[in-house]
Amino acid sequence: MKKIIFSIVFLTLGWATSKAQTFNLGIKAGVNLAKLNADFASEENRLGYQIGAWARIGGASFYVQPEAYIGSKGNKFISIQQDNGNEVSAEGKVRFTTLDVPVLLGTKFGAKNLNFRLMAGPVISFILDENSSFSSAYQQATDFDNYKNQALGLQAGAGVDVGNISVDLRYEAGLSNISKSEKYSQKPNLFQLSLGFKIL
């Protein structure tokens, strides 16, 4: 699946570059509300951040927007575990620092200094650092604290540009299981709100 997605991304970038009428470059920063959907526990959203850069290649109506940004995302888990026949409340927390690289295909409409955008596309997240803590009940019941070094997702959202300022609201759905466990599945999902500034 990853090979298919990457092939589509590279073909789209090549097409957009060959047809490009404009090229923009900018920086962005924002917040996200993330959680890891797990099939064995209830989850609580965790607030995170993002900061990075974006490029926009395209014409008057359609564009491709690759980005790269450092971000944080995490989760708090709560579940009831069995310990020697007794029910024990188990808690765990995890936070990742990631390098996220989305490639979005979008459309825009409106005036030159005020336009609206819709976009969607794949994102790959590389885990740079992991900070986790779990109660002993969790560690006995699962091989929980064992994560892969990357995850694949899909972003979709909307944005508005006012002059050189842009505001984006997106949802990111996890497509791949980030856990190495063969028993349990965890997929990161989040909402993100960002403020960008066009420098070129």
Residue type, 84: N
Residue owning tokens 């979005």: 104
More confident residue, 5 or 189: 189
Which comes out higher in pLDDT, residue 199 or 184?
199
**Which pLDDT does position 56 carry in this prediction?**
94
| pLDDT digits 0-9 by tens, 26-57 | 999 999 999 887 666 666 788 999 999 999 99
Q: Tell me the pLDDT tens digit for each residue of 133-184.
A: 766 655 555 555 678 899 999 999 999 999 999 999 999 999 998 888 777 7
Q: CB-based burial of residue 110 (10 Å sphere; 0-12 exposed, 13-18 middle, 19+ buried)?
A: exposed
**Mean pLDDT across 102-130:** 93
CB 69 within 8 A of CB 53: yes
> Yes or no: is domain 2-198 CATH 2.60.40.1760?
no
Please give the pLDDT value at position 196. Answer: 98
Q: Is the pLDDT of residue 103 over 60?
A: yes
What residue ranges do the domains of the chain occupy?
2-198
Q: Sorting pLDDT into bands at 50, 70 and 90, what band is 81?
A: low
Q: How many helices (H) and strands (E) does the chain have?
A: 2, 9
CA neighbor of 146 nearest in space, from 89, 184, 195:
184
